Amino acid sequence: MKSFDAIVIGGGQAGPFLAARMVEKGMKVALIERKFLGGTCVNAGCMPTKTLVASARAAHVARSGAVYGVNIPGEIGIDMKVVRARAETVTMNARNGLIGWFAGMDDMTVIYGHARFEDPKTVSVNGETLTAPRIFLNVGARPVIPDLPGINDIDYLTSTSIIHLDTLPRHLAVIGGSYIGLEFAQMYRRFGAEVSVIEHGPKLASREDEDISDAIADVLRSEGIDIHTGVSDIAFARSSDGITVATDSARIDASHVLIATGRKPNTDDLGLDATGVITDKHGYITVDDSLATNVEGIWALGDCNGHGAFTHTSYNDFEIAAANLLDGGDRKVSSRILAYALYIDPPLGRVGMTEKQARASGRKIMISTRPMSRVGRANERGETKGFMKVIADAETKKILGAAILGIEGDEVIHGIIDAMNAGTTYPALQWSVPIHPTVSELIPTLLGDLKPV
């Protein structure tokens, strides 16, 4: 049996950085990864998909050139092999950077294999047994495949496999109208495929307020994406030239099907029953405000604990664990103000409460909205789809949440994120003097238009 000061299972965006910090503190650490360092973000999520989004935007801008007085003769062609290779290069550069970084740490042992618990202090991997007083789980999540009629009779794609396509689908049917599905839908439409989005719920991006969801649907429909919401029945069958997707309201002749109906944690094959670690009904590991499980000496970080399914929340889990365990801190998950983005174009930047949540909280609230058509930068760039929205507490003057669906919305939202984290009241932020011409310059104006509801 090999002994370590700590064992980290999973090489995502929390565990490896915590492992590196522990090595800096003089600890001997084992990092176990069953496949690739970097987790979903580096290998099948943020980095490859946003590289693909960039290629799709380049195609869209090229096709729109005449509007700006830039005439490109002939049809805009897409070389999917180059598109795929570019995304793969970005992934490999990041993955190899991590490999090289860890190789330079004398007290870091990186093991590739499938780890399983033997008991709360012991794991087995590749026929070896390892033990440590501290074990950190950063095992991530994977796509959920729903039990739908005919699904096992077709060759479907997931968010992991679709990034390896080097040919263009004739017609891509996207099952699921949430964040992952919508990004791929617009991306492949801009590459030139016909695209249909099929969503069980009554609206796209169900987490968002209805006005945001409607605006997202308008953006996608304006680019020729076929959207079906409120679909109760879906079945698949092979056809002579692809896949037939039959719903209660439509019949779609697709060449490819992307299943984007959510993700589930990779906790079902860790041998958690040998530890007594509690999980919820969905398999997420239950943790307290410091990310500790109910079993002493075991922590869960990142997607597998159900406290955010984003790279930035996973990295923040590392920061919380490192501060509390190594730096004498007292940081809490509950102190985190959740923010995220939807990377369609224009993007959606979101922080804090939705309007629906704020109304349900019983607070006296104020709301302000502003269409992007009244933003100078948006007009100059010819990208006026979407709107800004902010919600504030009428009594405390604190900002409760905001949504910016529009050009550079994923960057502009950070002005509000920072203000909320600093506890800045909206009157104080209203009197800042932003740079012109930018999208951010409209934040004080947006705040100045707050009205009670």
Which position among 200, 312, 414, 436 bears the catalytic label? Answer: 436
Q: Are strands 194-198 and 171-175 parallel, antiparallel or unpaired?
A: parallel
Give the Cα separation of 159 and 319 in Å (integer).
28
Closest CA to 105 of 12, 37, 31, 7: 31
Going from the C-alpha of 366 to that of each of 209, 356, 406, the distances in angstroms are 15, 12, 21
Closest CA to 260 of 401, 144, 154: 144
Both tokens of residue 448?
């100045």
Amino acid at 302: G
Both tokens of residue 53?
């989004």
Determine whether 114 is an active site residue: no
* Residues carrying an active site annotation: 436
